[in-house]
């Protein structure tokens, strides 16, 4: 295959064009990362006046700390719950919209709107809807005989943050699933119909397997989202409570560092988070290249 | 199980108002191979898809065997279809592609294996059974698509331009194979193509469609010998039939002698159709017309040649097909001859064929 090759007059122009991106990356991503890496090896005294080099002690303490291990399992629960909920809801919506002929565009537009809402605002929205004293959902649940209170019940709180976080991600997943569905040739579905498969069977034996590259891609994106991009949602709804029940890793970084002022530990946690992102990214590229399944 | 197909006043109006099929009546006998042929957009696929149950029927009735199947799902109609793009399931092996329909119908594992292997042997795709479709060539995929259709032993085969994605050589080869297979299995088949040669060679009978209506139904040779309309005349046969306005023969050089021979044409004749091979460079025995024309272009096509000429006087373009390579030069003035019975008279306004009493029986045979 032939690739087009642009040539620039002079040596400095390409560097100049690249510079803004490189500078932004350096200042806002690489520099703080290095800072965190450095700080994770220090310990500050209680007054923040001086710091001493402690090697990997911050990490060792974290993994010996039950609240950190708790937070790890809370995060796992939260990430799995959010991913499952937002992906299954999005797939259901996409499959439904894909069957429509006339109103498809209108629905697509409407369904994409939640994605444009800032996480904190979405959080406040859910805070109102699920508010134990004035919210509509607790009121409805009350009539069904369930007393909802995410301020005292850890399970309720977990449900709340999962719903709030998943809701925002549905739009994104929906778009990808819809595109995935539309790229499946109609004749495959027709062939399966002639081959005696009903709509449900067609979905699970033809459509779903053919969506697997999309599904896998979204799974990684959603896990990354749930783990790192949900600070706003949690902050606006449960603030990690009650009693650490929704204190995910990313929220704990904030709580320990800026509230608890334990900067060394907080930095160590950030470094662990970074390692997880790197790992997920590698997994994603590995599998996407192999195109999963077919 | 075998079955006939009967279409009664079948119509299709798509949402949005396009009327793709405008009342089609047709009977396909048990075991018959019928080819639907027509230009792009004439409604062939629509008609086939209505038989398959992939499009709803707007009006009319459809019978497969004794059953009225208008409202039945595709799976309940006991049909199998081969798609233009093959529509193989890309995530399944060839074996699973063939087995899918049988599994859905609850066949036993041994029976599935036996049938898939038998179909694979028949189509010589045994070696590909463990492969995925993307690991196959176009021709091999085509065979797998055929295999998927025949493994179920359906009452009816439906084909929608199954060969149009193959190269010319493979197309001829697969054409022969489809015909052979159908002869052997004797399964009622409806086959859609826009390729008139494919239609002529495959079908027991042809159905020529134009603008959602049937123009003519008949055996390939009936249609070739006695096209029912100008449309059919130009659509079937290659190079296409020449169409000459009657006036072009009745004026110009030799008009007087033509008049005598053409005097018995049916009333209303406006256009005469002449097959390119009915124009001869040597004078035949018996009464004939002689025309003179200038050779504009000479095409040698191996065993035959095509002469593009322009009629002296009227300037009408004509194509002549001759065997071999006659010794002619471009720009040369030529004389050529037509016997009276090689003329196909068409009505000057409707374009329908006018029954020509002079036509002899053996030409239709
Ligand atoms: N889903 C549809 N909605 C509206 N109009 C349609 C639809 N499908 C086909 N048509 C129209 O119906 C007519 C017949 O289409 P059809 O696909 O049957 O043609 P065809 O004879 O198979 O042509 P080709 O040889 O190009 O495949 C065309 O005018 C086409 O535009
Ligand atoms: Mg078609």
Instruction: Say if residues B162 and B23 touch (Cβ distance below 8 Å).
Output: no
**The predicted structure's pLDDT at residue B1:** 58
**Does B249 lie in the same domain as B217?**
no
Q: Tens digit of pLDDT for each residue in A147-170?
A: 888 778 888 889 888 998 899 889
**The predicted structure's pLDDT at residue B50:** 95
What is the tally of helices (H) and strands (E) in chain A?
15, 2
A75-79, A244-248, B120-124, B243-247: the lowest-pLDDT one: A244-248
**How distant, in Å, are the alpha carbons of A180, B91, B92, B94 from that of A183?**
5, 14, 18, 22
Whether B357 is in a domain gets the answer no
Whether B354 is in a domain gets the answer no
**Choice from B20, B42, B190, B194 to test ligand 1 binding pocket (greatest atom count within 8 A of CB):** B20
Q: Tens digit of pLDDT for each residue in A242-276?
A: 878 888 888 888 888 777 777 778 888 888 888 88
Which neighbouring-strand residues pair with B27?
B6
Q: Taking CA A163 as the corner, what is the angle to CA A157 and CA A167, rounded to the nearest 5 degrees?
A: 150
**The predicted structure's pLDDT at residue A1:** 46
Which residue has its alpha carbon closest to ligand 1 atom 28? B41
**Does B207 lie in the same domain as B289?**
no
Atom index in ligand 1 nearest the CA of residue B209 equals 21
| DSSP label at residue B166 | S
Domain count, chain A: 1
Instruction: Say if residues A171 and A93 touch (Cβ distance below 8 Å).
Output: no
- Measured in Å, residue B209 CA sits from the centre of ligand 1 at 13
* Interface A:B, Cβ pairs < 8 A: 64
- What's the length of chain A? 294
Reduce the DSSP state of residue A72 to 3 states and report it.
Answer: helix
Q: Tokens 């092996």 identify what position?
A: B93
> Does the beta carbon of B40 lie inside 6 Å of ligand 1?
yes
- Measured in Å, residue B161 CA sits from the centre of ligand 2 at 7
pLDDT band at B228 (very low <50, low <70, confident <90, very high): very high
Output phi, psi for A38, to 5 deg: -65, -45
**Does B180 lie in the same domain as B248?**
no
CA A198 and chain centroid, separation: 35
Output phi, psi for B21, to 5 deg: -130, 125
CA distance A215 to chain B (A): 15
Torsion sign across C-alpha atoms A53, A54, A59, A65: negative
- Measured in Å, residue A186 CA sits from the centre of ligand 2 at 14
Write out the residue range of the structural domain in which residue B131 sits.
5-231
The CATH number of the domain holding residue B93 is 3.40.50.300
Whether A47 is in a domain gets the answer no
- Enter the tokens of residue B135: 């690991």
Closest chain A residue to the Cα of B160, Cα to Cα = A187
What does pTM read for this prediction?
0.82
The CATH number of the domain holding residue A254 is 1.10.3720.10
CB contact under 8 A, A194 and B81: yes
Q: Tens digit of pLDDT for each residue in B317-360?
A: 999 999 988 888 889 998 989 988 889 999 989 999 987 654 44
| CB-based contact, B136 to chain A, within 8 Å | no
- Enter the tokens of residue B342: 């090689």
Which residue has its alpha carbon closest to ligand 1 atom 4? B14
**The predicted structure's pLDDT at residue A291:** 57
Q: Is residue B243 pLDDT above 80, yes or no?
A: yes
CA distance B37 to B42: 9
Closest chain A residue to the Cα of B102, Cα to Cα = A195
- Enter the tokens of residue A194: 């002639």
Q: Is residue B51 pLDDT above 90, yes or no?
A: yes
Domain count, chain B: 2
Q: Tens digit of pLDDT for each residue in B23-33?
A: 999 999 999 99
For the CA of B44, the nearest ligand: 1
Whether B46 is in a domain gets the answer yes
Contacts by residues A276-280 (CB-CB < 8 Å, ≥ 24 positions apart):
A276/A227, A277/A224, A277/A228, A280/A220, A280/A223, A280/A224
Query: Which of residues A22 and A124 earns the better pLDDT score?
Result: A22
Closest chain B residue to the Cα of A195, Cα to Cα = B101
Whether A50 is in a domain gets the answer no
CA distance B213 to A250: 68
The ipTM estimated for the assembled molecules is 0.85
Kindly report the three-state secondary structure assignment for every residue of B139-150: HHHHHHHHHHHH
**Does B264 lie in the same domain as B227?**
no
**Does B31 lie in the same domain as B163?**
yes
Question: Residue A92, Cβ neighbours under 10 Å: how many?
Answer: 13
Whether B365 is in a domain gets the answer no
> Does the beta carbon of B45 lie inside 6 Å of ligand 1?
yes
Averaged pLDDT for residues B251-260 = 71
Write out the residue range of the structural domain in which residue A160 sits.
56-289
For the CA of B207, the nearest ligand: 1
**Does B178 lie in the same domain as B300?**
no
**Does B283 lie in the same domain as B202?**
no
**The predicted structure's pLDDT at residue B364:** 43
């Amino acid at each position: 295959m032939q690739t087009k090759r642009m040539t620039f007059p002079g040596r400095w122009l390409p560097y100049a064009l690249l510079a803004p991106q490189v500078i932004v990356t350096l200042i806002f991503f690489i520099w703080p990362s290095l800072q965190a890496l450095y700080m994770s090896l220090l310990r500050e005294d209680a007054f923040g006046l001086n710091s001493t080099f402690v090697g990997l002690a911050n990490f060792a303490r974290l993994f010996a700390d039950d609240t950190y291990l708790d937070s790890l399992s809370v995060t796992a629960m939260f990430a799995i719950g959010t991913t499952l909920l937002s992906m299954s809801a999005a797939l259901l919506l996409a499959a439904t919209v894909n069957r429509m002929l006339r109103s498809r565009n209108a629905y697509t537009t409407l369904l994409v709107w939640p994605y444009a809402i800032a996480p904190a605002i979405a959080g406040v929205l859910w805070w109102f809807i699920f508010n134990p004293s004035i919210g509509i959902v607790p009121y409805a649940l009350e009539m069904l005989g369930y007393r909802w209170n995410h301020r005292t019940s850890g399970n309720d709180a977990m449900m709340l943050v999962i719903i709030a976080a998943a809701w925002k991600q549905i739009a994104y997943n929906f778009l990808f699933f819809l595109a995935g569905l539309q790229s499946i040739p109609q004749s495959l579905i027709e062939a399966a119909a002639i081959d005696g498969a009903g709509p449900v069977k067609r979905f699970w034996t033809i459509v779903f397997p053919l969506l697997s590259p999309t599904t896998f891609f979204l799974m990684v994106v959603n896990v990354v989202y749930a783990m790192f991009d949900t600070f706003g949602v949690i902050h606006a709804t449960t603030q990690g409570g009650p009693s650490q029940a929704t204190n995910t890793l990313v929220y704990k970084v904030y709580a320990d560092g800026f509230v608890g002022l334990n900067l060394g530990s907080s930095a160590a946690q950030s470094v662990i988070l970074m390692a997880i992102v790197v790992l997920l990214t590698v997994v994603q590229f590995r599998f996407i290249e192999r195109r999963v399944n077919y | 199980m075998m079955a006939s197909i009967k279409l009664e006043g079948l119509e299709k109006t798509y949402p949005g108002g396009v009327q793709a099929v405008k009342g089609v009546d047709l009977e396909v006998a048990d075991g018959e191979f019928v080819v639907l042929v027509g230009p792009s957009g004439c409604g062939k696929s629509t008609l086939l898809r209505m038989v398959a149950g992939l499009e709803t029927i707007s009006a009319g009735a459809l019978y497969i065997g004794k059953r009225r199947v208008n409202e039945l799902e595709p799976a309940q109609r006991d049909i199998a279809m081969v798609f233009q793009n093959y529509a193989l399931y890309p995530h399944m092996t060839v074996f699973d592609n063939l087995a899918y329909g049988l599994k859905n119908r609850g066949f036993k594992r041994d029976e599935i294996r036996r049938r898939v292997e038998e179909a694979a042997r028949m189509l010589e795709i045994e070696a590909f059974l463990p492969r995925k479709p993307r690991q196959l060539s176009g021709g091999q995929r085509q065979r797998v698509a055929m295999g998927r259709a025949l493994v179920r032993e359906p009452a009816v085969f439906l084909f929608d331009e199954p060969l149009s994605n193959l190269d010319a050589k493979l197309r001829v080869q697969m054409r022969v194979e489809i015909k052979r297979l159908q002869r052997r299995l004797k399964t009622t088949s409806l086959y859609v193509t826009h390729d008139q040669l494919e239609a002529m060679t495959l079908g027991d009978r042809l159905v020529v469609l134009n603008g959602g209506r049937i123009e003519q139904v008949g055996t390939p040779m009936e249609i070739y010998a006695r096209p029912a309309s100008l449309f059919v005349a130009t659509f079937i046969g290659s190079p296409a039939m020449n169409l000459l306005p009657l006036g072009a023969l009745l004026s110009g050089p030799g008009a007087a002698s033509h008049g005598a021979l053409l005097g018995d044409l049916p009333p209303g004749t406006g256009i005469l159709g002449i097959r390119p091979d009915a124009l001869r460079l040597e004078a035949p025995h018996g009464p004939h017309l002689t025309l003179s024309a200038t050779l504009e272009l000479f095409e040698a096509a191996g065993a035959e040649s095509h002469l593009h000429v322009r009629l002296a006087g009227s300037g009408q373009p004509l194509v002549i097909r001759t065997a071999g390579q006659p010794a002619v030069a471009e720009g040369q003035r030529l004389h050529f001859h037509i016997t009276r019975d090689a003329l196909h008279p068409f009505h000057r306004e409707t374009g329908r064929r006018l029954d020509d009493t002079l036509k002899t029986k053996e030409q239709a045979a």
